[in-house]
Amino acid sequence: MPLPSAPKKSKSSNEILIKGMTIALIGVIILLAPVFKPESGVGQLFAQSYLVGWFALVLGLAFIGQHLFKRFKK
Is-contact 59 21, C-beta < 8 A? no
Is-contact 30 49, C-beta < 8 A?
yes
List pLDDT tens digits, range 28-50. 998 888 888 777 777 778 778 88
Specify the higher pLDDT residue, 29 or 11. Answer: 29
Q: Give the predicted TM-score (pTM) of the model.
A: 0.77
Give the integer Cα–Cα distance in Å for 20 and 58. 9
d(CA 28, CA 34): 11
